[in-house]
């Protein structure tokens, strides 16, 4: 019986290790928000992603556009080389954060409580 319990424990741990991890993102921007007079806020998304990530950008933007608060439009990115912020828009770039499970890391630029630009960090 003890041998069975050990084998079962190893099997359960192995199965749990092989299960795909779920993506989880958490963030808190405090009082920061894009300046707007009404919803939805219209923002350009600068496409600076590699061909590997290109198939994911438009569907991701479509998912965000299901919100009543956002109206995002994909446009040609303005980042050259390293991803840089552009006033009034969000630049989306391909990057590698190493084997840490991160989905991305964002930086915002603000004037007072109003976000003026955003980019990956």
Q: Print pLDDT tens along the chain (121 aa).
A: 544 444 444 444 444 444 444 545 555 667 888 888 888 989 899 998 888 888 989 999 999 999 898 899 999 988 766 778 888 888 888 877 677 776 667 788 888 888 888 877 6
Q: Look at residue 65 and tell me if it is in a domain.
A: yes
Q: Is residue 86 part of a domain?
A: yes
How high is the pLDDT of residue 63? 92
Q: How far is CA 30 from CA 9, 38, 90, 106, 107, in A?
A: 44, 20, 18, 14, 14
Closest C-alpha among 38, 69, 44, 67 to residue 57: 44
Q: Residue 48: give the domain boundaries.
A: 31-120
String of DSSP letters for 1-62: -HHHHHHHHHHHHHHHHHSPPPP------TT-EE--SSSSEEEEEEEE--TTTHHHHHHHHH
Asked if residue 4 belongs to a domain, the reply is no
Examine residue 67 and state whether it is found in any structural domain, yes or no.
yes
| Domain count of the fold of the chain | 1
Q: Is residue 10 part of a domain?
A: no
Residue 47 lies in a domain: yes
């Amino acid at each position: 019986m003890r041998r069975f319990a050990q084998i079962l424990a190893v099997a359960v741990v192995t199965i749990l290790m092989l299960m795909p991890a779920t993506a989880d993102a958490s963030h808190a921007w405090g009082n920061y928000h894009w300046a707007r007079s009404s919803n939805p806020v219209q923002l350009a998304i600068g496409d600076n992603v590699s061909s590997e990530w290109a198939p994911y950008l438009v569907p991701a933007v479509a998912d965000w556009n299901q919100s009543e608060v956002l109206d995002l439009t994909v446009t040609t990115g303005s980042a050259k080389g390293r991803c840089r912020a552009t006033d009034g828009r969000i630049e989306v770039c391909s990057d590698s954060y190493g084997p840490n499970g991160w989905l991305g890391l964002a930086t915002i630029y603000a004037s007072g409580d109003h976000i003026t630009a955003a980019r990956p960090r």
